Each structure stands twice: as C-alpha cells, then as structure tokens.
Amino acid sequence: MKWLKENSFLAGLLAVTLIAAGGLSYFLCQSWTEYVAASDSYKAAINKLHSLQNKVPYPSEANYNALKVGLDDYREKVNAYRDKLSKMEFPLDAKVTPQMFQDNLRTAVNGIKEKATASNVKLPEKFYLGFERYQSEPPSPQAAPQLNREMRVIESLVNKLVEYKVESIGDPKRAPLPQEGSAAPSPAAAGNKNQPPEKGSPVLFRYPLEISFTAEQSKFRVAFNAMLGSSQFIIVRSVAILNTSPEGPSRSKAAEQTPAAAAANPFAQAGGATDAPPSMKVVFGRELVKSNLSLEIIDFVELPASKN
C-alpha cells in the first residue's frame, strides 16, 4: 500500500493496462467464437453445395423446367387413365331415391322374367336379382344410389345369360354394401365425388357377387365370354363347373337291344345274334354343365382433378 502511494502513476498505469488486457481478451474470445461459427456455417454451405452438385438431376433452371414438363406429361396420362376407368363402370346416379330404386328393381325383375319365359329359361320361384330384402322394404337414402348401380350391373349380366338361352339361372348372391349397414360410409364409398378421399383411403371398392347357371357346353362358353365383355369392370375370382351327367352309361345297358331295334337291324341273324355292334348312346356333347361364377364388381373412386 505504501508503494502504491509513493508510485501512484505506475499504479494507475498498471491498473489501466490490466483493464485493457481484460477487455482485449474478452473481445478476442468473442471474435474467435464468431469466427468459429462463421467457419462452421461456411463449411455447412460448402457441403450442401457439393451435395446439390452431386444430385441427379442438378437443381438448375434447365433441369427444373425439364422436370416440370415430365410432371405435366405424367399428370395428363394419369387423368387419361382415370377417364378410361370411369368408362368401365356403370355411372352412379346420386339422385336415385329409395322409392325410385324399388321401382327400377321391380321393372328389371319383371323384364327379365318376361324374357326368360319367352326364351324357355328357367328362373327360381322367388327370383329377385339378389335384392329380396328390398322387395317389401325401401333402402336407406344413402344406400339407394349404390344399390341401383349394383342392380343395373347384375341385371345386365343376367340379361346376357337369358339372351344366349341358357337352360336355367340361379338367384344371384351378393354381399351387403357398406352403405346398407348402420355405420356411416366414407365420402368415397357414399358416392361423394366432390370431396377427396382421406389420406390412406382405398382407390377402389370390391363388391363380391356369385352367379350360377346351367347350359349346354357350347352356350356356356358363349355366355361366359359375353359376361366378360360387360361394360362394367368385373374380376372373375373363380369358376366352378359341374357336369350334370358325371357318370357315363353302363356297358350292360349299352349292350341291350330292344326287340324293335333288333327287328330293324339288317345284320340280325336268326338266333338273334348279330355281327354288327349294338347301337351306342352318344353322351359327349349332349350333357349340360352347371357353373358357379365368383365375381367382383369393381368401383373406382373418382379422384379430384390435379391442380398445377
């Protein structure tokens, strides 16, 4: 303390030097921190630039324009494919009411019965296109449009069978639609074409259907091909075919010959013996086949038009 009083100038100079050194150290540390941050940012920018340069295609203006042209072309192809799919299914009439559906169903069933009678095609006694439930009760308003479209599809398939004069047609068996249950269907399933489907929702719906009929072999092939040529997109899941004559005629019966046939046989001998072979009963080609088709009616969800 005595030295400081005797050398006040040096003491002041020393204090000023220490303060200046502390300030310089502070500014030096702060500058170094800013330098390190700037250096790291620069290195990150350099790495990002190298990453972009190594990408294919490089995000230049020319490549961006080429990518945009490719996206526009892809969008046009998707829209064209969507339009093509929309033409492969019966249109959905959202204005169909429950009463209109019942009237349309009754008219379709009566028309098929009249055509079947004229063509000698047998139908079940309580034939109602698989919609027996709605013979006496109307559907819900939300289910009526979907039921009407499904009914039109089944009607067209049965009409093709009647047109080719098959032997008989069984009552179609259909699975209930989602709209027929108590749970509210999704916008896509309800036929709301203006509201886009939720994320992760399906792009199509499958409606199982079974149709059975009996026909001659030749008519079965023609009728089956005609059903596949329907304007509705239909998937054939399985085809079960059963011959109505699974067993051939017994050899003993084939060898039997009536007296009238023996008299008419010019090769018959006096003792009833004959050198000619007995008349054979032709079986192949005359038997009927009963087929059971397991089908799926496909309903494509109509997506909203893409925006540029």
In angstroms, the CA 219 to CA 291 distance is: 12
Does residue 163 surpass a pLDDT of 70? yes
Output the average pLDDT for the chain.
Answer: 77
Does residue 111 surpass a pLDDT of 50? yes
Sequence spans of domains, the chain:
17-57, 90-190+200-245+285-300
In angstroms, the CA 158 to CA 201 distance is: 32
Does residue 60 surpass a pLDDT of 80? no
pTM exceeds 0.75 for this model: no
Asked whether 112 and 129 are in contact (CB, 8 A), the reply is yes
Instruction: Categorise residue 120: left if φ over 0, alpha if ψ from -120 to 50, beta otherwise.
Output: left
Longest dimension (CA), the chain: 172
Does residue 250 surpass a pLDDT of 70? no
E strand residue ranges, the chain: 168-169, 173-174, 204-216, 234-243, 288-300
Q: Is domain 90-190+200-245+285-300 given the CATH code 3.40.50.300 in the classification?
A: no
How far are the Cα atoms of 73, 84, 98, 123, 135 from residue 110, in angstroms, in the given order?
Answer: 49, 33, 18, 12, 12
